Chains A and B, each alone.
Chain A
Amino acid sequence: MIHPGKMAREVLTSLFRKPATVLYPYVKVQMPDRFRGKIKFTSPLCIGCKLCMRDCPTNCITITKVGDKQFQAEFDLDRCIYCAQCVDTCPKKALEATAEYELAQLQHDKLKVIFHAEPTPASSPAAPAEHAPQSQPAIGA
């Protein structure tokens, strides 16, 4: 039947349904398993082959030798496109994609993230030796 207001019923029934949106940032969305978020570097696994640097589309990784068989990684997150190609390329699984997605920053220098070779005294042994100048998610921290 041709008439105006075809969607009126849909609109009215929607009044009694739960909202389709999420109250972000108060409610966080669970990322799927395969989500490609911030990249994590595990220094002891790295052999310094620098294949990740060669394949990174945005040249945002820098691997530097800091000692005998010790490497540190530096990420320019403002350039990273979270493609996780570096994770695929790394032959030693020293890189992995995490589910961290709140990566916006108000200060540019906070986008540089350095994973030191040695764990800093402040971090617990299990945590990765990550150093970003007060690395904090900007939203909902």
Chain B
Amino acid sequence: MANVKIPIGPQHPALKEPESFTITLNGETIISMDVRLGYNHRGIEKACEERNYIQAMYLVERVCGICSHSHSTCFIQAVEEIAGLAVPPRAQYIRTIIAELERIHSHLLWLGVAGHEIGFDTLLMYAWRDREAVMDTLAALTGNRVNYGINTIGGVRRDISPEQLAGLLKTMDVLEERTKYYIEVASQEITLIKRLSGVGYLAHEDAVKLGAVGPTARASAVDRDIRRDDPYIAYKDLDFKVITDTHNDVYGRTLVRVGELMQCYNMIRQLVAKIPDGPVTVKAPRKIPAGEAFSRYEAPRGEDVHYVKANGTDKAERVKIRAPTLANLQSVAKMMENNRLADVPIIIAAIDPCFSCTDRMVRIHDAGHGRQETLSWQALHTYSLDWHRKQGIDFKALNAKLSRRMKL
């Protein structure tokens, strides 16, 4: 049978974000997959160069709606390193508490989404209902459900009161109870096991070779976690296990994430028990001395990397962000091989993708002549209009038709 190419996305009911996957099929079986990025590029790195560090921090926080704390912490860690700021221990602990709460909400969200992608919407509803407990906690601690805005250069913006810490422990008990139930569901519900086992297989060697990160890598027995390997904020004081699994498939990725949830509850209990007293900020200079720093952070989806170069002014000279999804995209192409077309949504969802965080700008590269070209928005607009005119499209008639419609 001849191979057939099927485009999935950039607009597709199974994808929540715009990304284009071209799938080569033989019958129902996937031969290969090609990913194309760039549908949601927002130019955040460049925009950071136009803003002072405080403003850039809020912008970076909005790289991702789900791991907002990951990005802002990763960014300011780099800035604080360049400025040589000693962030007070209490602030480090608060950052860690929020970081783990974020992981809890992200993994519970993923559990629901994964359920949805395989038609198990009951799991979606209950996982998301339980997730509300952690969302409410985040709102109470930081002032918002998403984009918490807890970080500031040199510390955190809000302290956590003893009552809140006590409340936090109660929430952890509730969530732990629920997570135990989901672990039971994941290990006993036969439809779930059958649907996810063997789907999206990523061998250990491939995971290493393709540079997979986070739960995607750990489910292929890659024992790697920045929290343990290169501790930042308060992780050096914590005792926790890095969860790995040898299933190498979507089922394994599910087990790793629910396993990590149990570790999160434990870590938060330790953090609450050990949190030191003291101030939560140090005064940060507005102008950051010249220098550069590279910061790593284990976001819920894997290793997040920020690079900041300062030039002595109050604005960064260069900010570079590598979100975890970008590191995992190559693995997705590998996972697709030899699966069925119907498995595409769950395989993509299993890396817990965040396409907007990953998006890159497209540069036109003429391989034959070595010419490179970047189109500005205006130039792209003109090019597109000209191209359509050449195809014989009459914009005058179209505009007239549109304005008639608008009037009706």
Inter-chain contact B129/A7, CB cutoff 8 Å: no
Q: Interface size class for chain B?
A: 20 to 34
Inter-chain contact A11/B122, CB cutoff 8 Å: yes
Residues of B within 8 A of A102 (CB): none
Which listed segment binds B: A39-47, A71-79, A83-91, A123-131? A83-91
| Chain B interface mostly | helix
Inter-chain contact A85/B54, CB cutoff 8 Å: yes
Inter-chain contact B140/A10, CB cutoff 8 Å: no
Number of interface residues of A (CB under 8 A): 29
Which listed segment binds B: A50-58, A62-70, A114-122, A132-140? A50-58
Inter-chain contact A88/B122, CB cutoff 8 Å: no
| Chain A interface mostly | loop
Inter-chain contact A85/B58, CB cutoff 8 Å: yes
Inter-chain contact B143/A32, CB cutoff 8 Å: yes
A81, CB-defined interface residue at 8 Å: yes
- Bound: A33/B139 CA distance, A: 9
Distance to closest chain B CB from A88 (angstroms) = 6
- Bound: A54/B181 CA distance, A: 50
Residues A4 and B189 in contact in the complex (CB < 8 Å), given A57-B59, A81-B58:
yes
- Bound: A115/B98 CA distance, A: 35
Residues of B within 8 A of A33 (CB): 140
Chain A 2-21 near chain B by CB (<8 Å), digits 1 or 0: 11111100110010000010
Residues of B within 8 A of A88 (CB): 152, 157
Closest to B115 in A: A7
Would you list which residues of chain A between 19 and 47 have a CB under 8 Å from chain B?
Answer: 20, 31-36
How many A-B residue pairs lie within 8 Å, measured between CB atoms?
A: 70
Chain B 8-35 near chain A by CB (<8 Å), digits 1 or 0: 0000000000000000000000000000
A106, CB-defined interface residue at 8 Å: no
Inter-chain contact B144/A2, CB cutoff 8 Å: no
Inter-chain contact A7/B123, CB cutoff 8 Å: yes
- Bound: A88/B283 CA distance, A: 13
Residues of A within 8 A of B197 (CB): none
Residues of A within 8 A of B231 (CB): none
Extra contacts, 12 of them, besides A7-B189, A36-B144, A81-B58 (Cβ < 8 A), are A3-B190, A7-B185, A10-B126, A20-B132, A31-B139, A33-B140, A34-B141, A34-B158, A35-B139, A57-B51, A83-B149, A85-B54
Binding site for B on A (CB under 8 A): 1-7, 10-11, 14, 20, 31-36, 54-57, 81-85, 88-89, 97
The 6 closest A-B pairs by CB, nearest first: A6-B189, A57-B58, A34-B143, A57-B55, A32-B140, A36-B143
Complex A-B: 29 CB contacts under 8 Å: A2-B193, A3-B190, A4-B189, A4-B191, A6-B185, A6-B192, A7-B123, A10-B122, A10-B181, A14-B126, A20-B132, A31-B139, A32-B136, A32-B143, A34-B140, A34-B142, A36-B143, A36-B144, A55-B52, A55-B55, A56-B55, A57-B54, A83-B58, A83-B149, A84-B143, A85-B54, A88-B152, A88-B157, A97-B143
Binding site for A on B (CB under 8 A): 51-52, 54-55, 58-59, 62, 122-123, 126, 129, 132, 136, 139-144, 147, 149, 152, 157-158, 181, 184-185, 188-193
